[in-house]
Amino acid sequence: MEDSLDIKNLNKDKSMARPVTLFTGQWADLSQDTIIEKAKTFGYDGVELACWGDHFEVTKADASYCANLREKLDAAGMQCHAISTHLVGQAVSDNIDARHAQILSEEIYGDGNPEDVNKRAAEELMKTAHAAKEFGVKVVNGFTGSSIWHLCYSFPPVLPGQIDAGYEKFAAQWKPILDEFESCGVRYALEVHPTEIAFDIASAARALEALDGHESFGFNYDPSHFGYQGVDYVGFIRRFPNRIFHAHMKDVRWSSHPTEAGVFGGHVDFHQPNRFWDFRSVGRGSIDFELIIRALNDIGYDGPLSVEWEDGGMDREFGATESCAFVRKLDFPSSDIVFDEQFDKEKQS
């Protein structure tokens, strides 16, 4: 990042086609009004509203609620192109245990019976599709959970058919949800991520195959979950050009030398110096965002560039402001000409 970066002036320059938005999931301790106001002052064009806290409440999202929220955003000069339901989505296919009680409402978690939690989470996802339609967004981002994540790098060895059975279960759980999304004209964008049914290119392809290529299923692209795994985070875009429904701008740094806690984290908390990798404010990690922007241009992605801000060593308001400026400065429209064709005298004025 350039030392002379002028955050205030860069954030005023909004000539680029793609809006820069702020994902509000990490700001759920703030009210809806507060985070909308703050995102505006940070320089963002809009917000990607999380379906937790009071930022977007699916159970309240009738016509009146959605109209009032749109009016509030319009009055603030803010856009919203997607809502996100990572917490409930996680519970659809996960092996439910006591950890899920901290991220789910009492209505969904109930007595914690795993099959019942899976079912209630699936029902909530279907309601979310209708809420998104009412609110006027075409994309819902989120997680899926996974019944087979614990079998990664497993010992005793995975039994024949065990992984196949996991993908079959995933498809059985998600096809009815995705059919509901399709009926609403809304698409579900999985944030490919460790602990999900898809966590790299190979598993993402397998998830699509399990769903028979369901048109309402795609991806919320987030490079930060690929880089430290050694996954080709630019190649992911080119591998799934028609399935990139939304894009997160999120950074991560991984070490160039051996560390005490490796790729799996060593049961060490974030923001510890002995970790191999850790999330960073956008532009301060190891991700090459220039390559990402060029790949997004190549596939014709014109949706939001949504900052998901996480950095345990930086003030979040400073970081969110700086990240907005970084993304806005980095983004550029694709070319509609081939530059060396202009040597052709027939094309010259």
Name the region of 72 (left: φ>0; alpha: ψ -120 to 50; beta: rest). Answer: alpha
Residue-level pLDDT at 1: 34
Q: Over the stretch 158-206, which tens digit does the pLDDT of each residue have?
A: 999 999 999 999 999 999 999 999 999 999 999 999 999 999 999 999 9
Low-confidence ranges of the chain (pLDDT < 50): 1-16
The DSSP line for 16-27 is SSSPEEEE-GGG
3-state secondary structure at position 84:
strand
Domain ranges of the chain: 7-347
The correct CATH number of 7-347 out of 3.40.640.10, 3.20.20.150, 3.40.50.300, 3.40.50.1820 is 3.20.20.150
Residue-level pLDDT at 2: 37
The DSSP line for 143-171 is ----SSGGGTT-SSPPPTTHHHHHHHHHH
- Find the radius of gyration of the CA atoms of the chain: 21
pTM over 0.75: yes
Q: Over the stretch 28-76, which tens digit does the pLDDT of each residue have?
A: 999 999 999 999 999 999 999 999 999 999 999 999 999 999 999 999 9
Residue-level pLDDT at 346: 74
